[in-house]
Amino acid sequence: MIETPQSFVTRQECEKVTYQNGFRRPHGEIEGWQRYSSTTAQGSIWLARETTGAWLLALDHAGVIAEIGMETFDAAGPGLARFRFASLALLYGLMPRVYELAASLPDAPLQEFLHRTKNLPRTTEAERNVVQRVGQNIFRERLTKYWQGRCPLSGVGDNALLRASHIKPWRDCENDDERLDVHNGLLLSALWDAAFDSGLVTFDDDGIPIFSECLSERARAGLHFGNCLDLTDNHRKFLVWHRKYVFEATDYRATGG
């Protein structure tokens, strides 16, 4: 049974967990659920507490629900799905990921780009380059949030050594939606980025690296492969393009085809 109305202590805890994790706009309580939103992330979240002490989180962002990797809780409430936590500590543990995904999916980078560039001129090449740099900076910021500031393959987390790697390059994208889609990107260490961008490595649908015959054994060892990529179907769609037009093309040129 949900605590209705919320006690003073419960409201205070709701405010702390949301404020510390990017959802800083309160919208009041309905039937024991406190609703919050963010100026930098899409969707709303709701928090409630059961009389037993367990905590409940409700989400209305389909992309976040699909990617947080947690089973939903079958109970009535707001949003598209609800989740149950035996303790407040467990709720705190998930909230950073909820915000990172909400700030990146599905088109949050695109909407920020359109807002920041709507008054920028695009007549000359120099002006178009300025607009492109704005988009690339937004893409890197959101991609860094999505991959939690770390190369998923090597574990490198030093910002200076990380690259926002487009799977389908900026120049080949059909529109800004593709260019700014975080599923069209991997946060890679500089060495992995160089290999991926030049077509010396790609990934299969399970996130396992496929190395080009042009890549030496010493170079493969230097990549320090530790983990497979955790991919969604949206990533796989772009990787199909990379395998065909970047990876296979590199092997074809190398063999004199």
Q: What is the DSSP string of 168-237?
A: S-GGG-SSHHHHT-GGGEEEEEHHHHHHHHTTSEEE-TTS-EEE-TTS-HHHHHHT---------HHHHH
Q: Are residues 126 and 223 in the same domain?
A: yes
**Mean of the per-residue pLDDT values of the chain:** 94
Q: Are residues 151 and 34 in the same domain?
A: no
Q: Are residues 221 and 171 in the same domain?
A: yes
Single pTM value for the model:
0.88
Dist. CA 76–CA 135, nearest whole Å: 40
Q: Is the residue at 24 inside a domain? A: yes
Q: Are residues 138 and 242 in the same domain?
A: yes
The predicted structure's pLDDT at residue 22: 96
Q: Are residues 112 and 233 in the same domain?
A: yes
Q: Is the residue at 120 inside a domain? A: yes
The tens digit of pLDDT for each residue in 23-63 reads 999 999 999 999 999 998 999 999 999 999 999 999 999 99
Domains: count for the chain: 2
Whether residue 110 is predicted with pLDDT greater than 70 in this model: the reply is yes
Q: Are residues 125 and 200 in the same domain?
A: yes
The predicted structure's pLDDT at residue 254: 55
Dist. CA 232–CA 170, nearest whole Å: 20
Q: Is the residue at 3 inside a domain? A: no
Q: Are residues 51 and 133 in the same domain?
A: no
Whether residue 255 is predicted with pLDDT greater than 70 in this model: the reply is no
Q: Are residues 229 and 128 in the same domain?
A: yes
Last residue of a domain, one of 51, 75, 102: 102
Last residue of a domain, one of 36, 70, 102: 102
Last residue of a domain, one of 102, 129, 157: 102
Q: Are residues 157 and 95 in the same domain?
A: no
User: What angle do the packed helices 108-117 and 125-146 form, to 10 degrees?
Assistant: 150
Q: Is the residue at 41 inside a domain? A: yes
Q: Are residues 121 and 247 in the same domain?
A: yes
In this prediction, residues 133-141 reach a mean pLDDT of 96
Whether residue 180 is predicted with pLDDT greater than 70 in this model: the reply is yes
Q: Are residues 90 and 166 in the same domain?
A: no
Domain enclosing residue 91, as ranges? 8-102
Q: Is the residue at 235 inside a domain? A: yes
From the list 174, 108, 118, 162, the residue with the least C-alpha distance to 139 is: 108
Q: Is the residue at 168 inside a domain? A: yes
Residue, of 222 and 17, whose pLDDT is higher: 17
Dist. CA 40–CA 102, nearest whole Å: 9
Whether residue 208 is predicted with pLDDT greater than 90 in this model: the reply is yes
Residue, of 66 and 224, whose pLDDT is higher: 66
Q: Is the residue at 27 inside a domain? A: yes
Q: Is the residue at 247 inside a domain? A: yes
In this prediction, residues 69-84 reach a mean pLDDT of 95
Contact 229, 238 (CB under 8 A): no
Phi, then psi, of 172 in degrees rounded to 5: -95, -10
The tens digit of pLDDT for each residue in 157-176 reads 999 999 999 999 999 999 99
Q: Are residues 38 and 131 in the same domain?
A: no
